[in-house]
Amino acid sequence: MEQVRVCRICGHVNPLGDRTRCSNCWSSLAEITPVTRTEGRRIARRLRLGFLRNRFFRIGFLLAAAIGFTVWGVLVFFEVGPNPPGATTDLSPSIAPETWAQSRRTPQNTGYTPHQAPNPLHFVWTYEPSRPIVTSPPIAGDHVY
């Protein structure tokens, strides 16, 4: 029976001759023991299948990681999360334009209010700033903030 050497790197079956290098990938064949051609084909097939199995595992792992990162990125970017709980009441707010909260009450920032000023009409305390404050004081209940 004809003797051959099977490259441990690429699985190529090389004739026994005086070659010390694989004719396919040029790796060293010096320490590889010769086997019969039938056994060499079996070893080469096992090496190729192992290589393909490892390759498919790597591709599958990378693909799963890429899909996982993509899903995670979409969830983070679009802030997808659980839906908020439903309404606990059947009342609905008024959505008319005049009921919207606006700075200084109107779109023109007039600060005008058609209602009476809050009672009592005296201040509990005052504050003298070092520079002018350009805003209207917010009033809530009995407090001026």
Task: Identify whether the C-beta of residue 12 lies closer than 8 Å to the C-beta of residue 41.
Answer: no
Gap between the Cα atoms of 33 and 47, Å rounded: 16
Q: Is residue 141 part of a domain?
A: no
Q: Return the pLDDT at 98.
A: 67
Residue 78: per-residue pLDDT = 87
For residue 22, the tally of other CB atoms under 10 A from its CB is 21
In a domain, 28, yes or no: yes
- Could you write out the DSSP letters of every residue in 10-24? T--EEESSS--B-TT
Q: Is residue 59 part of a domain?
A: yes
The DSSP call for residue 36 is E
Helices (H), the chain: 37-77
| Owning domain of residue 72 | 3-77
Establish if 123 belongs to a structural domain: no
Q: Which residues contact 112 (CB under 8 A, 6 or more apart)?
A: 105, 106
* 113-129 burial: b if 16+ Cβ within 10 Å, else e: eeeeeeeeeeeeeeeee
Query: Which tens digits make up the pLDDT trace of 115-136?
Result: 776 666 667 777 777 887 777 7
Tell me which residues of the chain have a pLDDT lower than 50. none
Residue 129 lies in a domain: no
What one-character-per-residue DSSP string does 83-105 give? PPPPPS-S------GGGS--TTS
Q: How many domains does the chain have?
A: 1
Encoding tokens for residue 44? Answer: 């080469």
Domain presence at residue 9:
yes
Q: What is the pTM of this model?
A: 0.36
Confirm whether 56 is domain-assigned. Answer: yes
Q: What is the pLDDT of residue 120?
A: 62
pLDDT reported for residue 65: 97
Would residue 130 count as lying in a domain?
A: no
